[in-house]
Amino acid sequence: MNESIPSFDDRPFKERVELRVVFHKVVDIFETCGKLKEVDKEMLLQEVSNRLKQHMPPQAPTEPSPPVEPPPPTSFADRCLELAAAAPNDKIWKALITIAQICDAEDALADDRA
């Protein structure tokens, strides 16, 4: 048995024969397609695709996914903390942390005054 052809051993005998015949036909189509000009290949492959789609069960239409909401804008302090996590050295890390702390303190004061 040719190793490139599936054996279909899990199927009944009649179905195995039918599947092997179909498999051989498909292999022949693609071998022939390889010998054609590029334009003819595209046309043939499109026709094969169309015919295969005719035999596929119809799929239920998928519901559109809900629109993705953009994340809320981050505060300047949060952005400083994100940048601090990627800081290349301790000096920059400390500066960004300090800025974030100052911003948080100012926001807290503004909330208290309101």
Q: Which residue from 103, 105, 81, 104 is spatially nearest to 93, judged by alpha carbons? A: 81
In a domain, 33, yes or no: yes
In a domain, 85, yes or no: yes
Look at the chain and report how many structural domains it folds into.
Answer: 2
Question: What pTM, to 2 d.p., does this model score?
Answer: 0.37
Q: Which of 19-28, 39-48, 66-75 has the highest mean pLDDT?
A: 19-28
Domain span at 92: 76-113
Judge if 50 and 82 occupy the same domain.
Answer: no
Long-range pairs of 94-102 with CB within 8 A, sequence gap ≥ 24: 101/77
Judge if 82 and 49 occupy the same domain.
Answer: no
**Is 1's pLDDT higher than 50?**
no
In a domain, 60, yes or no: no
Give the separation between CA 104 and CA 13, rounded to whole angstroms.
75
In a domain, 70, yes or no: no
Tell me the chain's radius of gyration from C-alpha atoms. Answer: 32
Q: Which residues contact 13 (CB under 8 A, 6 or more apart)?
A: none
